């Protein structure tokens, strides 16, 4: 569509005797198809020409000379609406897609640039809760989006594997460790130990003292406690990895908070040297303009904070990855933390790099009645249980439909997990999400299974046609035969895919792709309900198959970016 946009800009520029580059960015894409393919608002010109926008639009329209691809121009309330000849659009888009095939989305935009994405980041010895699922799913989608644009992306699982609570867990483990089966049920055991020790500490001062001593020892890297901590970490990770495996998520780095234990002194020193810290009630803080709360770097007992560790991590990421962007995906509860951290980061990584750090917040996950799903609820029902339930239910649905695939378990997994991911990415991330398994598993409506089902339809049409793929994946087809309304609408929408991915990257908003792929699926559904694809007329059949193939490829690409697999049967 880019070339048509240029042509439109050219035509306007000529009429106005201006430079094309001044015009191009002003050109919009009308929301309503009735308003044409491009629109040019004349409001800004009103001042310059001292005339009403409507009058200016009329005058420009008069001066526009016929050109190769512009079919007509209309004036509607201060806008010039441009209609491109459908046949030309269809030919140009289809040619490009069919020529590039699976490489259609390839981009070099990000070549040579590193993007760090910090996502998932559960806290060891605690359950992987539903908020971490959101971070994982949104983070992975953003990872894939940047990857598609050609960036070198580094996925970082910044584990919450440090903090005073480990002093307490270690104390409990020393006392009662043998009563628990850590190997079998690590997180449940560690949570139980924590709760029990915390309870006991209320009665017994020595537990608290020991816990503090344990944490100090851990900070100093003393062998016995470090061994225990390592064990807790490894066992927790093993449990998380089962979830990552179900979701198909991997990371390039697992450097968590503990990794920065010996790297915080440098941060404190830098802030001291730059004279930006002040003492406040015994703590060391950086005061921030416009923020009521100062940012705490050292607590009054001298220990560091979550922010101090994040600053150390930021500096490390600058050194190791020289990032073009450093993205953090967490719930909106951490907005204040990141706002403060980024402000202090200016002193640590410099203004330039601090500007490249982005917090990507998301909303809460709510249960059916809009109630908050709490972490505590997550102890009895783990996230793994929820994922497995989605998989089992998908299998039941398939069986109810009388499906007897050999690989029914694998397909159920793709549907169940895909449904959860899709639901997570369906709306603007900042919105709270309703988690209702029954709704998200429906095969119709705006769901993952619906889009997967449309993918399967495209695939089965291509197979049923028995036409050799070289025949419809060919550039020598007569694309102008695609002139039905449903065909033109689908093709125009397909051509937006690259622009959608770019926008999703700029806004850190995977839901743009989710909404887009829903549109593609429903436009395709309209098309194949109205028109036969496998028909007598071979030339027409071939171009129609080419369109089915283009749809198939683009749905697949989009779902893959979202982290969702495409089953080949459903
Ligand atoms: N572990 C934290 C939590 O569960 C999230 C960490 C996010 N990343 C960061 N660099 N602070 O809330």
Query: Does 534 lie in the same domain as 558?
Result: yes
Give the pLDDT of residue 373: 63
Q: Is residue 109 part of a domain?
A: no
Q: Is residue 279 part of a domain?
A: no
Query: Rounded to the nearest 5 degrees, what angle is found at the Cα of 192, between the Cα atoms of 220 and 201?
Result: 65
Give the pLDDT of residue 190: 95
Residue, of 375 and 7, whose pLDDT is higher: 7
Q: Is residue 131 part of a domain?
A: yes
Q: Is residue 101 part of a domain?
A: no
Is residue 329 scored above 90 in pLDDT? yes
Is residue 376 scored above 60 in pLDDT? no
Instruction: Round to the nearest angstrom and report the end-to-end CA distance of the chain.
Output: 34
Take residue 453 and report the two structure tokens written for it.
């089902």
Query: Does 388 lie in the same domain as 361?
Result: no
DSSP per-residue codes, 71-102: EEEEEETTEEEEEE-HHHHHHHHHHHHHHHGG
Phi, psi of 301, rounded to the nearest 5 degrees: -85, 10
How many helices (H) and strands (E) the chain has is answered by: 24, 12
Q: Is residue 90 part of a domain?
A: no
pLDDT digits (tens, 9 = 90+) for 380-439: 578 899 999 999 999 999 999 999 999 999 999 999 999 999 999 999 999 999 899 999
Query: Which of 132, 236, 318, 334 is the best mutation target for the ligand 1 pocket, counting ligand atoms within 8 Å of the beta carbon and taking the most?
Result: 334
3-state SS class at 196: helix
Domain that holds residue 209: 114-261+322-365
3-state SS class at 325: strand
Query: Which of 118, 121, 130, 315 is the best mutation target for the ligand 1 pocket, counting ligand atoms within 8 Å of the beta carbon and taking the most?
Result: 121
Contact 174, 224 (CB under 8 A): no
Query: Does 545 lie in the same domain as 478?
Result: yes
Query: Does 433 lie in the same domain as 407?
Result: yes
CATH number of the domain bearing residue 219 = 3.40.50.620
For 370, other C-beta atoms within 10 Å of its C-beta total 9
Section 503-528 average pLDDT: 98
Ligand 1 centroid, distance to 360 Cα (angstroms): 12
328 lines ligand 1 (CB under 6 A): yes
Query: Does 553 lie in the same domain as 507?
Result: yes
Give the pLDDT of residue 439: 95
Give the pLDDT of residue 379: 43
Q: Is residue 73 part of a domain?
A: yes
Give the pLDDT of residue 293: 86
Query: Does 335 lie in the same domain as 412?
Result: no
Take residue 123 and report the two structure tokens written for it.
């806290």
Query: Does 217 lie in the same domain as 135?
Result: yes
Confidence tier at 303 by pLDDT (50, 70, 90): confident
Section 342-366 average pLDDT: 97
Take residue 23 and report the two structure tokens written for it.
């015009």
Confidence tier at 31 by pLDDT (50, 70, 90): confident
Share of the chain above pLDDT 70, in %: 98
362 lines ligand 1 (CB under 6 A): no
Is residue 375 scored above 70 in pLDDT? no
Query: Does 68 lie in the same domain as 206?
Result: no
Phi, psi of 477, rounded to the nearest 5 degrees: -80, 165
Query: Does 247 lie in the same domain as 330?
Result: yes
Q: Is the dihedral of CA 370, 371, 374, 378 positive or negative?
A: negative
Query: Does 156 lie in the same domain as 57?
Result: no
- Paired with 38 in beta bridges are 82
118 lines ligand 1 (CB under 6 A): yes
Ligand 1 centroid, distance to 173 Cα (angstroms): 25
CATH number of the domain bearing residue 15 = 3.30.1360.70
Residues in the chain: 570
Q: What is the mean pLDDT of the chain?
A: 94
C-alpha to C-alpha distances, 407 to 243, 410, 548, 570, nearest whole angstrom: 21, 5, 25, 11
Contact 479, 543 (CB under 8 A): yes
Ligand 1, atom 4, residue with closest C-alpha: 122
User: In angstroms, rounded to a whole number, what is the distance separating the alpha carbons of residues 76 and 4?
Assistant: 20
330 lines ligand 1 (CB under 6 A): yes
Query: Rounded to the nearest 5 degrees, what angle is found at the Cα of 565, between the Cα atoms of 559 and 570?
Result: 105
Ligand 1 centroid, distance to 160 Cα (angstroms): 6
162 lines ligand 1 (CB under 6 A): no
pLDDT digits (tens, 9 = 90+) for 202-212: 999 999 999 99
165-176 and 223-247 helices, crossing angle to 10° = 100
CATH number of the domain bearing residue 504 = 1.10.730.10
Q: Is residue 127 part of a domain?
A: yes
Burial of 404 (0-12, 13-18, 19+ CB in 10 A): exposed
If one counts the domains in the chain, the total is: 3
The pTM of this model reads 0.94
Ligand 1, atom 6, residue with closest C-alpha: 121
């Amino acid at each position: 569509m880019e070339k048509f946009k240029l042509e439109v800009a050219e035509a306007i520029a000529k009429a106005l005797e201006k430079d094309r580059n001044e015009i191009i960015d002003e050109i919009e894409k009308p929301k309503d198809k009735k308003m044409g393919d491009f629109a040019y608002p004349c409001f800004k010109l009103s001042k310059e020409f001292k005339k009403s926008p409507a009058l200016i639009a009329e005058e420009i329209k008069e001066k526009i000379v016929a050109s190769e691809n512009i079919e007509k121009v209309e004036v509607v309330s201060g806008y010039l609406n441009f209609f491109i000849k459908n046949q030309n659009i269809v030919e140009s888009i289809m040619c490009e897609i069919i020529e590039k095939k699976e490489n259609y989305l390839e981009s070099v935009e990000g070549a040579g640039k590193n993007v760090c994405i910090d996502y998932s980041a559960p806290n060891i010895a605690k359950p992987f809760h539903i908020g971490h699922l959101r971070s994982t799913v949104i983070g992975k989608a953003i990872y894939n989006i940047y990857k598609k644009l050609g960036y070198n992306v580094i996925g970082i699982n910044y584990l919450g594997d440090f903090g005073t609570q480990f002093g307490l867990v270690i104390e409990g483990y020393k006392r009662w460790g043998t009563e628990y089966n850590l190997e079998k049920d690590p997180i449940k055991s560690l949570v139980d130990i924590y709760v029990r020790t915390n309870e006991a500490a209320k009665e017994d001062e020595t537990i608290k003292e020991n816990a503090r001593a344990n944490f100090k020892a851990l900070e100093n890297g003393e062998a016995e406690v470090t061994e225990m901590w390592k064990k807790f970490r490894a066992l927790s990770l093993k449990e998380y990895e089962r979830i990552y495996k179900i979701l198909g998520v991997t990371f390039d780095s697992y450097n968590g908070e503990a990794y920065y234990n010996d790297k915080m002194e440098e941060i404190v020193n830098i802030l001291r040297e730059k004279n930006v810290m002040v003492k406040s009630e015994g703590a060391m803080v950086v005061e921030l303009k416009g923020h009521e709360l100062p940012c705490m770097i050292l607590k009054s007992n001298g220990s560091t904070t979550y922010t101090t560790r994040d600053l150390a991590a930021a500096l490390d990421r600058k050194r190791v990855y020289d990032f073009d962007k450093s993205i953090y995906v967490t719930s909106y509860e951490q907005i204040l933390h990141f706002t403060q951290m980024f402000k202090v980061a200016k002193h640590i990584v410099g203004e330039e790099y601090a500007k490249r750090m982005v917090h990507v917040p998301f909303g809460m996950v709510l249960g059916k009645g809009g109630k908050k799903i709490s972490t505590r609820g997550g102890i009895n029902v783990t996230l793994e249980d929820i994922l497995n339930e989605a998989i089992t239910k998908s299998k039941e649905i398939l069986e109810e439909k009388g499906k007897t695939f050999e690989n029914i378990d694998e397909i159920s997994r793709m549907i169940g997990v895909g449904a959860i991911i899709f639901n997570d990415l369906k709306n603007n991330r900042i919105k709270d999400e309703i988690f209702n398994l029954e709704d998200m598993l429906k095969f119709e409506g705006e769901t993952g299974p619906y889009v997967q089902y449309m993918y399967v339809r495209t695939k089965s049409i291509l197979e049923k046609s028995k036409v050799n793929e070289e025949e419809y994946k060919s550039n020598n087809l007569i694309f102008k035969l695609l002139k039905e309304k449903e065909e033109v609408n689908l093709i125009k929408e397909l051509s937006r895919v690259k622009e959608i991915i770019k926008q999703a990257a700029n806004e850190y908003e995977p839901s743009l792709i989710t909404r887009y792929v829903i549109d593609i699926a429903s436009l395709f559904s309209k098309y194949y309900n109205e028109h036969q694809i496998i028909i007598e007329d071979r030339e027409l059949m071939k171009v129609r198959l080419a369109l089915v193939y283009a749809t198939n490829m683009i749905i697949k690409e989009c779902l893959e970016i979202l982290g969702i697999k495409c089953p080949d049967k459903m």
